Amino acid sequence: MDKNTLIGFSLLAVVLAAMAWINQPTPEQIAARQRYQDSIKQTELTEQINNAVDARNIDKSTNSSIQQMLDTISSDSLKAKELTRLFGAFGKAAIGTDTITNLENEVLKLSVSTKGGRIRTAQLKNYQTHDSLPLILFDGEESSFNATYVTADNRIINTSNFFFESLPIVSNADSTQLTMRLIAGTDSYIDHVYTIYPKEYMIRFSIQTNNMASILSPGVNSVDIEWNSKLRQQEKGRTFEKRYVGLYYKYAADDVENLSESKDDSKELRSKTKWIAYKDQFFSTILIAEEPFLSADIASKVITDETSPYLSSFSSKMTAAFDPQGKLSNDFRIYLGPNHYPTLGRYDKGVASEDKLEIQRLVPLGNIIFRWFNKIMVIPLFDFLGKYISSFGIIIFLLTLIIKMILFPLTYKSYMSSAKMRVLRPQVEEINERLKGEDKAMERQKATMELYSRAGASPMSGCLPMLLQMPILIALFMFFPSAIELRQEPFLWAQDLSTYDAILTWKGNIPLVSYLYGNHISLFCLLMTIVNIIYTKFNMDMSNTGQQQMPGMKWMMYLMPVTFLVFFNQYSSGLCYYYLLSSLISIGQTLVFRYFINEEKLLAKLEENKKRPRKTNGFMNRLMEAQKQQQEALRKQQTQRGKRK
């Protein structure tokens, strides 16, 4: 590059620098430019927010994005203006930091979040999961709670999107209270008030407003409440636990009902509803309205993924009466605790029948007579024995003995009936030999029934006592799997009487076997099946009357215990243990009866009965009349066949 070129470039640089210095903006121009750029950014921000969310109903996930976009505005006044535009009086509460305040007593530990002013975590301090972890009903986003309000300027405000202020905890001897406050202006706010009591699973929750009449719409007299939750797996047997998971609800002054426990289900409740419960096998979360909900839409979804930590997900959208003037609050009770029948029943003591909660119906004890027997006898007896005996294996043993003693008269009568039939067996065989052939079947049956009638024996007298025992057996079948008293209580080799006692397990899915039987072998269930097979053979031999049985009936009798092996393998080991004891005691009773009852004397007594005139009972008369009619019909059929030939 030559000398002239260098001089030219240098002069050009000097000219450009001079022009830049001469044309530089004044401080006033710089400030105006900055205001213009801020205006551009604010316009872009508004467009971004409007595209991302509906300004009248902000989604729960947008808080962080709103915060990021607000960070691009340097002016605090513009930030406040934008928040006010979006949320009105609630603008300042739209942005904040989520902090946790703990509220606890001897049995409950609750973590309440400032984001939404809701219970974020609920832990039962006296219980653990099947793998010895703290028992948490829900945590974090597993549960959500939201109340929706309409403002005077027609905005829709969801409390779950806003940040409450946590006020200092107020404690006294009777209660501990925490207030979460959603501020909407000077001395205008919505409070979520939580009150917890010593040693109580039931807490109080109240929604209160102050000076909100000018902020909330005066024409809206209801508030929409949305409550969602996923139920965690807490027990070892997932398949068995899922049978007891469900969404329950109670209409005001009406019965308790529930959605399907085995499939996805939903329902619109258009009558006043007192409470809604999310129920697991042994624990429940119940939202109880002091003034019943006006309506509710509820839904449950079964989680089919076997690897998921959750069993089901529940959702409820409820409408409650609301006073926009703030004179009346919305009061609720929330139960977070075990499905323990006496504990749940306490809340109805001293309450008028029409106001009873009946939350003890969450414990599945069966219907009508089965539930009655469990309520009147089994549960009180179980609780009484539990006060003095620590081993629930021994308690079940004593309970079985007591029930067998109560059923002893029926058992004795059933044995005597079969004994009468057994000692008459040679005479029945003689009738069968004398009246052979299919054409004499009705005559043979008639002669046998006449023999029983004259001797004072009846086949039905043995069946009736067994039928009377069935309600008790079914009641106990309902009681044991739902008895939280058995949960994590060990006995012998069983570590937990509320679930199966596996002595052998395997991994992998075996088609049909894994679905019906499971991937384990329960020892109490196996022993119960073996003893029942022995008892079936023993009982069949004892009750052989010499009459011909239906083909295959013998194998059908043996099939039932084998079916129990499949059906009960995943059931409570406490239930299998009870059935095992019951069968062993039944065998023992039968042996004692046979030892002390002289069948020769019994036969002699029956022979004496034959000599005395005996009036048959109504049932025997009807049975014999039916046999005569069948015999007459058979003769007519045979006559018609002979004419055709």
More confident residue, 278 or 326: 278
Residues in the chain: 645
Question: In whole angstroms, what is the distance from residue 93 CA to residue 87 CA?
Answer: 9
Output the 3-class SS for 487-536. CCCCECCECCCCCCCEEEECCCCCCCHHHHCCCEEEHHHHHHHHHHHHHH
CATH number of 100-363: 2.70.98.90
Q: How far apart are CA 163 and CA 142, in angstroms?
A: 19
CB 417 within 8 A of CB 461: yes
Rounded Cα distance between 540 and 557, Å, is 9
CA distance 157 to 581: 61
299 CB contacts (<8 Å, ≥6 apart)? 247, 259, 264, 265, 266, 267, 314, 315, 316
Kind plus residue range of the DSSP H or E element containing 611: helix 599-611
The domain limits of the chain are 36-95, 100-363, 371-614
CA-based torsion, 257, 260, 264, 267: positive or negative: negative
Contact of 379 with 342, CB cutoff 8 Å: yes
**pLDDT confidence band for 45 (50 / 70 / 90):** very low
* pLDDT tens digits along 288-304: 999 999 999 999 999 98
Three-class DSSP category at 222: strand
Confidence of residue 165 (pLDDT cuts 50, 70, 90): very high
- How far apart (Å, rounded) are the C-alpha atoms in residues 167 and 169? 6
Given a cut of 70, whether residue 440 has pLDDT beyond it is no
The neighbouring-strand residues paired with 297 are 268, 317
* 3-state secondary structure at position 147: strand
19 CB contacts (<8 Å, ≥6 apart)?
Answer: none
Which has more pLDDT, 244 or 48? Answer: 244
Residue 225 has pLDDT above 80, yes or no: yes
Running DSSP on this structure, what letter comes out for residue 483? -
Q: Is residue 268 within 8 Å of 257, Cβ to Cβ?
A: no
Angstrom CA distances, 226 to 182, 296, 334, 430, 624, stand at 18, 10, 15, 77, 67
Are the beta carbons of 366 and 341 closer than 8 angstroms?
no
Query: Is the model more confident about 572 or about 368?
Result: 572
pLDDT of res. 181: 95
**Tally of CA atoms within 13 A in the half-sphere of 135 that contains its CB:** 21
188 contact partners, CB below 8 Å, separation of at least 6: 89, 210, 211, 212, 214, 215
Predicted local distance difference test score (pLDDT) of residue 61: 43
pLDDT value of residue 51: 47
CA distances from 645 to 437, 438, 439, 638 (A): 21, 20, 18, 11
pLDDT in tens, 571-622: 889 999 999 999 899 888 888 888 888 777 777 777 776 666 655 555 555 6
Task: Reply yes or no on whether the pLDDT at 191 is more than 50.
Answer: yes
Q: How far is CA 316 from CA 161, 295, 416, 595, in A?
A: 18, 10, 58, 63
Residue type, 587: I
Furthest-apart CA pair in the chain: how many Å?
156
pLDDT value for 632: 65
Bridge partners of residue 250, in order along the sequence = 256, 275
Helix (H, G, I), strand (E, B) or coil at 146: strand
The CA distance from 461 to 478, in Å, is 28
Contact 244, 233 (CB under 8 A): no
| Mean pLDDT of all residues belonging to the chain | 81
User: What is the structure's pLDDT at 60?
Assistant: 40
SS3 153: coil
> How many Cα neighbours within 13 Å face the side chain of 523?
11
pTM (2 d.p.)? 0.78
366 phi and psi, to 5 degrees? 95, 180
Share of the chain above pLDDT 90, in %: 39
- State the burial class of residue 644 (Cβ atoms within 10 Å of its Cβ: 0-12, 13-18, 19+): exposed
CB neighbours of 39 closer than 8 A, spacing ≥ 6? none
Give, for 381, the enclosing helix (H) or strand (E). helix 379-388
